[in-house]
Structure 1
Amino acid sequence: MKVKDIILDPTGAAVLDGYLLIADPHIGIENSLGLRRGSNTDKVLNSLKDLNSKYGTENLVIVGDIKHGFNLRDRDLLISFLKRTNQIFKNTYIVEGNHDNGLDLIISTDSLEYIEYKEYIILHGHKSVDTDKFMIIGHEHPVIELSNGFRSSRYICFLEFDRVLVLPAFNNISPGNDVISSKFSSEILTKLDRWKAKVYISDDSEVLYAGRLGDLARKIYGEIPEI
């Protein structure tokens, strides 16, 4: 599945020319939840290795929130993570997210407020930006929640607006933000008509176009909910 020149991968990653884009890996999140140390980090690294083999991308772009917290355990995981990504990719670029305060005190790799490439600008998305370029952002952790009355399942999704593509969180631990029933937190997205967004849902094996968010809300709830 593609949006403009951007390939949407079922893992939640995106590919733009020779660049592999992931948002919100939140390295160290497992520590804050009391899970096995490195469990999320190992999964992220294994996925990156597979994606590099699949697409042959030389460059990794982390679209904000590379880290989750600010403690010694998170620091060690982050340093180890970047050593591994530098073995997999020729270059690793880090865009600053709202969780990335103090990143310069932990790693030597410079972080960027945004990256401009062709007609695109890549930024985390927690803050507004004045640009005419097509924005690729993270921050929102978009998911669609489906229920059969007995059990609910959440599926990561990409959202496409006229000038914005939202990437899902690239980790399996964050619960995500159900974009039908929850308010947007991104300053960029709160200015847009959410119900006009095109939704691309991942079922782990492929990315499927599910229609406009407003139409999807009507199918699931029978109406567009008030948020």
Structure 2
Amino acid sequence: MGVSPFSFDELSLEFQTSSGRTLVFADPHIGFELSRGLRIRTRFERALAEFVIAKDPDLLIILGDVKEPLGMNFGLKKMLTEFFSVIKEVPTVITRGNHDGRIEEAIKPFKNVEVVPYFLLDGALFLHGHTRLPEVKFNEAYLGHIHPAYVFKRSGTRRKVKVFARSGGYLVLPTINPYIEGFPLEEGIRMVPFLRGAEYVDVFLPNGMYVGRVCIKSR
């Protein structure tokens, strides 16, 4: 299992909004160790919580799949409790992902956390990306779900790296979890119902470098 060379800072976004400094990231998949057969505890959730505290945002938006296991058990609940205990002073919005069933059981003690199907702020729509678009007006949208990655091929070698993918007014964020590589975006983009008809996406490395335009329909 590869570890991303990019930092939490590069795999997230920060905006100045009407709510103040707003930090956005996608798909932490806390508890991934429980689902992937790892015998070690990475304590990823602690490192991520400390990153949030260091950034000291006025608002945190998590674009779904806060947790990895679909259900809820004691071990996962403990991990989630540890994460949310650290950031208990940070107003937090979770746009529910397909892995977030029963997450209310873990966040119930934390009055700073809200779980919603989508979030609209200053004309920007924030959502996970696994469902159809809500019937609301927006200027741009930010989503996760597909863990976009791009495969660089050179001299017979292949290297897959996380990327940000833009299709028109939609920006897809990579997973912020450094232990999850991601999916080739040519395949992943079809997992978003409202982007299945996209002909191409513009690809950016987490450091902001523009990689180029990737054709989708012909693949």
Contact 2:26 2:65 in 1 (8 A): yes
Contact 1:38 1:77 in 2 (8 A): no
Q: Distance in 2 between matches of 1:209 and 1:46?
A: 29
For residues 4-32 of structure 1, the C-alpha deviation after alignment (integer angstroms, 9 at most, x for no partner) is xxxxx863101121110010000100222
Partner of 1:14: 13
SS at structure 2 position matched to 1:143:
strand
Partner of 1:213: 214
Query: How many pairs does the alignment contain?
Result: 199
Q: Distance in 1 between matches of 2:202 and 2:153?
A: 21
Contact 2:62 2:93 in 1 (8 A): yes
Higher helix share: 1
Task: After TM superposition, list the pairs within 5 Å mapping 1:35-74 onto structure 2.
Answer: 35-50=39-54, 52=55, 56-69=56-69, 70=71, 71-74=73-76
Identify unmatched segments of 5+ residues in structure 2: 1-7
Answer yes or no: is 1:27 the counterpart of 2:30: yes
Once the two structures are TM-superposed, the CA of residue 45 in structure 1 deviates from its matched residue by: 2.7
Answer yes or no: is 1:165 the counterpart of 2:159: no
Contact 1:96 1:112 in 2 (8 A): yes
Give the residue type in structure 2 aligned to 1:85. Answer: I
Q: Distance in 2 between matches of 1:119 and 1:57?
A: 20
SS at structure 2 position matched to 1:168:
coil
1:144 to 143, 147, 150: 150
Q: Distance in 2 between matches of 1:208 and 1:11?
A: 11
Once the two structures are TM-superposed, the CA of residue 180 in structure 1 deviates from its matched residue by: 3.5
TM-score, with structure 2 as normaliser:
0.81
Once the two structures are TM-superposed, the CA of residue 35 in structure 1 deviates from its matched residue by: 4.3
Q: Distance in 2 between matches of 1:77 and 1:104?
A: 14
Give the residue type in structure 2 aligned to 1:15. Answer: E
Answer yes or no: is 1:82 the counterpart of 2:84: yes
SS at structure 1 position matched to 2:193:
coil
Task: After TM superposition, list the pairs within 5 Å mapping 1:118-129 onto structure 2.
Answer: 118-129=122-133
Q: Distance in 2 between matches of 1:32 and 1:136?
A: 27
1:35–1:42: structure 2 CA closer, same or farther, 3 Å change rule?
A: farther
1:110–1:183: structure 2 CA closer, same or farther, 3 Å change rule?
A: closer
1:123–1:182: structure 2 CA closer, same or farther, 3 Å change rule?
A: closer
TM-score, with structure 1 as normaliser:
0.78
Identify unmatched segments of 5+ residues in structure 1: 1-8, 215-223
Q: Distance in 2 between matches of 1:135 and 1:181?
A: 20
Give the residue type in structure 2 aligned to 1:152. Answer: R
Contact 1:123 1:137 in 2 (8 A): yes
Once the two structures are TM-superposed, the CA of residue 47 in structure 1 deviates from its matched residue by: 3.5
Give the residue type in structure 2 aligned to 1:48. Answer: V
Identity %: 24
